[in-house]
Structure 1
Amino acid sequence: MAKLVATLASTHHPFYLKATTAQPGDRMPQAAEWQRKIEAYRETLTRACPDLLVMVGSDHFHQIFLDNYPQFLIGKAPLYDATFYNEQREFGLPTFLLEGAEDLSRFLHQALLDRDFDLAFSNELKIDHSIVCPIITLRPQNDLPIVPIYTNIFAPPLPSVRRFYELGRAIRAAVEAYPSDGRIAVIGTGHLSLELGGPRQFMETGPDPAFDRQAIEWLRTGDIDAILASVTHETLEASGNATHGFLNFILMLGVAGACPADYVDHLDLFHTMEAYFTWYPEGDAR
């Protein structure tokens, strides 16, 4: 059977590449520190030596719209075009052609259906920055096949907080049941407190620093009981109108097994808290 070799969860700030490749005189003050942190985080994936990547993100209304918005969706394509025009224009993100792990996609889709998760699927999915950003930060050589999984964190009504956690557990069980000797890493991205287009968008910190600190501690310790007792859709909304991206962190904690993280780091930027977590299965890649 396949082996889960690492679980990684992070924020997906689309300006990382632009900020760290700008000319020295144009760089933001935190650029050098940000780059050091990303390179250290990248090493946590590299040392796990994965063969395949399962990547969890969310479409930012690039191709999934309110006329037909699935709660969870898996890509099943042989190739994925990546990066939309507005992401090239606004964030300076490059385009990619990502290889799809078709056999693993088919297996995971059926395995998750068997575990009572009725995922929609797409054979023609295009990838946006929720998955492009971790390719840039964690695997810039883009040399591994991927299975993309999209979650609904934007269009109410949303799945429950517990449902995200349970999907993470189901993804892990499905990965470990895959009849292969492959080494699989699961990578997911989301947000801590975040405001998009609202009055708290461009503060000196994220809109809710207290939530950010608590969220990092919950993930550092793997305290799913505290998360499920404390986090609701209403509390996430109170911390910022895009804070529902934290649901993807909860999903990744399910994949990891609700245990303490092996690697934790964060960086307070001018309007958001960036955070990075890695979990290894017991005895692997430590």
Structure 2
Amino acid sequence: MLNAPVGDWARFIERDRTRAHLTKEGCPVTYEELERLAPPGVQAELTPEVFADKHQRALAEVERLGAVVRNARLDTLIVVGDDQKELYDDDNMPAILVYRGQTIRNVPLASHPGPDWARAASAKYFERDVPRDYPVDAKLAEHLIAALMEDFDLSCANTLAEGYGEGHAFGFVHNRLLAGMTIPVLPIFLNTYFPPNQPTPGRCYRLGQAIRAAVESFPGDARVGVLASGGLSHFTVDPELDGRVVKALREKDARALAALPREQLNSGSSEIRNWICMAGAVEHLALRHIEYIPAYRTPAGTGTGLCFADWS
């Protein structure tokens, strides 16, 4: 939704009518059943005026957050994101993977099963014309792997398969937030989406804490940032769940984050795990800004819980 023009938000119904859905409790449901369960005020969220307001606010937050990252004078940006079978599949699905190559490639979108408007939105995660190799802080990655192996069983990779590039969670950082600025990244992949080996919320938080400790033990005085890539609830917007996450982030409530029900952290809402990991890494920092936008797009209450926050 952040890549689509506001005029296309209403068109997401074309895809939502056919995709698999979950109720707010995490039970499988059809679009038609979800529409019958939708909150009574959802229709008021679907007007052109509301779409325009939320779209404008969201893009302003993308620009604001991008400026925060670009102005932070970082030597390395650790990016915690998920892979939606863009690189890893059921034959080998790592729960936690640290990428340690010298570079990571972003390639133009080759194919897309959806309509042209959806393809245009997805293409914005990726390079437009030719592949591009982005620098990776391989030395910090090796240090993190050595430190984290004390308590976490990690997968690691130093290259991508021929013809493949980084997934959308990482492409969004390079193409939208960094906007061409070259900062070495350190990609950490969490399997948020696919059972049975999704890390638990508590484990995600502890991983974040361990990442911070490993960074602090790295020789030198490099400035290192940590970024969680992903939305809150989707594709069923759940302001109650999102509110619990936002409240816990504001209050630095690790127990509340660890206690989030796993059955609700599936499908797109599973990306909350990336936020939990990041929260563990920045628990010593002050929350400077947080903005939550429940971006509904259909009468069934589907959409995305958009959230933007920064700590320093």
Q: TM-score range by the shorter chain?
A: 0.7 to 0.9
How far residue 215 of structure 1 moved from its aligned partner, in angstroms, is 1.6
The change in CA–CA distance for 1:86 and 1:234 in structure 2 (over 3 A counts) is same
Distance 2:133 2:211 in 1: 25
Structure 1, unaligned runs of 5 or more: 1-14, 23-27, 201-205, 281-286
> For each residue in 1:224-263, what CA deviation from the matched residue of structure 2 results, as whole angstroms up to 9, or x when unmatched?
122223x1212435xxx33121111111110012665222
Tell me how far apart the structure 1 counterparts of residues 286 and 225 of structure 2 sit (CA, whole Å).
Answer: 17
SS of 1:156 mapped into structure 2 = coil
Q: 1:73 aligns with which of 97, 118, 121?
A: 97
- Specify the code of the residue in structure 2 equivalent to 1:35: L
**Aligned residue type for 1:46:** R
2:246 to 212, 216, 221: 216
- Given the alignment, which residue of 123, 130, 138 partners 1:92? 123
Secondary structure (helix, strand or coil) at the match of 2:89 reads coil
2:278 paired with 1:278: no
TM-score, with length taken from structure 1: 0.78
* Among candidates 136, 142, 146, match of residue 175 of structure 2: 136
Q: CA deviation at 1:274?
A: 0.7
Matched, 1:252 2:278: yes
- What is the root-mean-square deviation of aligned Cα atoms in Å? 2.5
Alignment partner of 2:180: what SS? coil
Give the equivalent residue in structure 2 for 1:121: 156
Question: Match for residue 186 of structure 2?
Answer: 147
**Deviation (angstroms), 1:221:** 2.0
1:264 to 282, 290, 306: 290
Bigger radius of gyration among the two: 2
Determine the C-alpha separation between the residues in 2 that align with 1:188 and 1:85: 26
**Structure 1 residues 85, 219: CA separation in 2 closer, same or farther (over 3 Å shift)?**
farther
Moved over 4 A (4+): 86-90
Q: CA deviation at 1:42?
A: 2.2
- Over 3 Å counting, the alpha-carbon distance change for 1:16 and 1:235 in structure 2 is closer
The one-letter amino acid paired with 2:256 is: A
Partner of 2:59: 35
In the alignment, residue 266 of structure 1 is paired with which amino acid?
Answer: Y
Q: Which amino acid aligns with 2:70?
A: T
d(CA) in 2 for partners of 1:100, 1:259: 25
- In structure 1, give the amino acid aligned to 2:242: D
| Counterpart residue number, 1:175 | 215
In structure 1, how many angstroms separate the alpha carbons of the residues matched to 2:110 and 2:153? 31
Q: CA deviation at 1:85?
A: 2.7
Shift of residue 129, structure 1, vs aligned partner: 0.8
Letter aligned with residue 159 of structure 1: P
Measured after TM superposition, the shift of residue 211 of structure 1 is 1.2
Distance 1:103 1:236, change over 3 A: closer
Counterparts in 2 of 1:268 and 1:160: CA distance versus 1, 3 Å: closer
- Which structure has more relative contact order (CA 8 Å, sep 6+)? It is 1
- Aligned residue pairs, count: 248
Give CA deviations for 1:134-153 in whole Å, capped at 9, x if unaligned: 22332112311111110011
Match of 2:146 among 82, 92, 110: 110
**Distance in 2 of aligned mates of 1:175 and 1:86:** 38
Following superposition, the deviation at residue 90 of structure 1 comes to 5.2
Cα deviations by residue, 1:112-134 (Å, 9 ceiling, x for unpaired): 11x32121111113311111112
TM-score normalised to the size of structure 2?
0.72
